[in-house]
């Protein structure tokens, strides 16, 4: 006779939020009750791939592979009903990405060339806007939005390490070692961001602001989770990681100046100042060693790496446009304003 392994519920994890439509509501109810999601898998195939409902549902299911949710059985991470539903939503999301990027570059050189040159016109740059005219409430909203990733910074990219070999693995581990504090807990980048949030008077608990995050932000986090959880998308994850490292240093420099201008505290400035120098070094490693080594081992992944880069630019541009449009109308970019919380 066989027995099932004992089940444990995550303690101290973030709280579940309410759903934003039939898919996410079904996922929330399933996680709360332990029952299969009362939602036809076919419904996921017609949901808006960029919408609040599908993106929140995906985020909730992906989070089971990170820290889970308070009171939710740890075993639900591999629940076949939830995985089946997630796969259907992933198909929908990937199809939307590939459709929107049907004319995107197919080579690494073409994908990264525009990112290596600082544009003359920074009018569409959110970090430029924050540097020049950002107000304290906008810096706080920006930190709230980015907290969904930065409080687990580098975690999604760590999934690619066992899928690499040789040069690419060695360089990736070297970069991740820096991201995880080079052996010092107080230097872990996620901790540095938590310190930034406290300087801004924000709650630094992991996942605290999930309910505040609109779909365009959830999409940016879901993208790296999607790439990270699928070995078949390892090239796309490397492309995503490289895109982040290549574009991080200039943006971080502008955000550090924005924090200085608003005099929010040394920890808030330090988070971005740390990324200016570190990511400039990481950019060279990721381009020449991680990508170079991966292409030497698996040249067939070139198009996937380019796709990962293009998809990152796409979702970040969508998020930036969303935030700028909301702020231009003197409205909060959050689903629930901090003042109302």
* pLDDT (tens digit per residue) in 234-244: 999 999 999 99
Domain span at residue 68? Answer: 22-100
> Which of 48, 72, 100 lies at the terminal end of a domain, its last residue?
100
Last residue of a domain, one of 53, 74, 100: 100
> How crowded is residue 99: how many other Cβ atoms within 10 Å of its Cβ?
9
**Does residue 80 lie within any of the structural domains?**
yes
Dig out the tokens for 213 from the structure: 């995050």
Mark which of 84, 100, 116 sits at the end of a domain.
Answer: 100
Give the residue among 161, 197, 199 at the shortest CA–CA distance from 180: 161
pLDDT of residue 123: 66
CB contact at 8 A, 48 and 210? no
- CATH code for the domain of 289: 1.20.910.10
Measure the CA–CA gap between 296 and 289, rounded to whole angstroms: 10
* 73 beta partners: 9
Q: How far apart are CA 81 and CA 83, in angstroms?
A: 5
If asked whether residues 140 and 119 sit together in one domain, one would say: yes
Residues 82 and 207 in one domain: no
Q: What is the pLDDT of residue 337?
A: 87
Q: Is residue 9 part of a domain?
A: no
Q: List the one residue out of 253, 310, 243 whose CA is nearest residue 278.
A: 253
Same domain? For 49 and 141 the reply is: no
pLDDT digits (tens, 9 = 90+) for 104-148: 999 999 999 998 877 645 667 899 999 999 999 999 999 999 999
Q: How many beta carbons lie within 10 A of that of residue 284, not counting itself? A: 12
Report yes or no on 5 lying in a domain: no
| Total domain count, the chain | 2
- Determine the pLDDT at residue 117: 79
**Does 241 lie in the same domain as 168?**
yes
With a cut of 50, which residues of the chain have pLDDT below it? 1-5, 120
Instruction: Supply the pLDDT for residue 4.
Output: 46
**Same domain for 63 and 130?**
no
Burial (CB < 10 A; 0-12, 13-18, 19+), residue 174, is middle
Both 179 and 285 in one domain: the answer is yes
194 and 76 assigned to the same domain: no
Please give the pLDDT value at position 2. 42
Whole-model pTM? 0.94
What the block records as the tokens of 173 is 């581990």
């Amino acid at each position: 006779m066989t027995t099932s392994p004992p089940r444990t519920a995550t303690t101290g994890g973030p709280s579940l939020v309410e759903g934003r439509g039939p898919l996410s509501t079904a996922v929330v109810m399933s996680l709360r009750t332990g029952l299969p999601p009362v939602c036809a898998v076919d419904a996921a195939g017609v949901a808006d791939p960029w919408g609040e409902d599908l993106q929140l549902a995906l985020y909730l299911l992906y989070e089971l592979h990170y820290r889970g949710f308070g009171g939710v059985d740890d075993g639900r991470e591999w629940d076949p009903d939830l995985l089946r539903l997630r796969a259907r939503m992933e198909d929908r999301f990937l199809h939307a990405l590939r459709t929107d990027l049907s004319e995107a570059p197919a080579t690494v050189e073409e994908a990264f060339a525009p990112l290596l040159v600082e544009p003359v016109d920074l009018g569409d740059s959110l970090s430029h806007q924050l540097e020049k005219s950002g107000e304290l409430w906008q810096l706080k909203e920006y930190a709230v939005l980015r907290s969904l990733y930065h409080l687990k910074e580098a975690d999604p990219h760590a999934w690619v390490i066992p899928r690499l070999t040789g040069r690419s693995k060695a360089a990736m581990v070297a970069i991740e070692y820096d991201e995880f504090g080079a052996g010092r807990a107080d230097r872990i980048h996620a901790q540095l961001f938590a310190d930034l949030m406290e300087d801004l008077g924000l709650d630094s608990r992991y996942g605290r602001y999930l309910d505040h995050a609109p779909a365009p932000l959830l999409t940016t986090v879901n993208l790296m989770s999607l790439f990270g959880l699928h070995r078949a998308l390892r090239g796309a994850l490397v492309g995503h990681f490289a895109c982040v490292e290549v574009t991080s240093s200039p943006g971080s420099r502008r955000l550090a100046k924005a924090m200085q201008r608003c005099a929010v505290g040394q920890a808030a400035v330090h988070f971005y100042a740390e990324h200016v120098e570190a990511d400039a070094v990481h950019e060279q490693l990721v381009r020449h060693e991680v990508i170079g080594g991966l292409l030497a081992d698996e040249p067939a992944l070139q198009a996937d790496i380019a796709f990962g880069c293009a998809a990152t630019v796409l979702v970040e541009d969508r998020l930036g446009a969303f935030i700028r449009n909301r702020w231009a109308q003197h409205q909060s970019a959050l689903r629930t304003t901090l003042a109302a919380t």
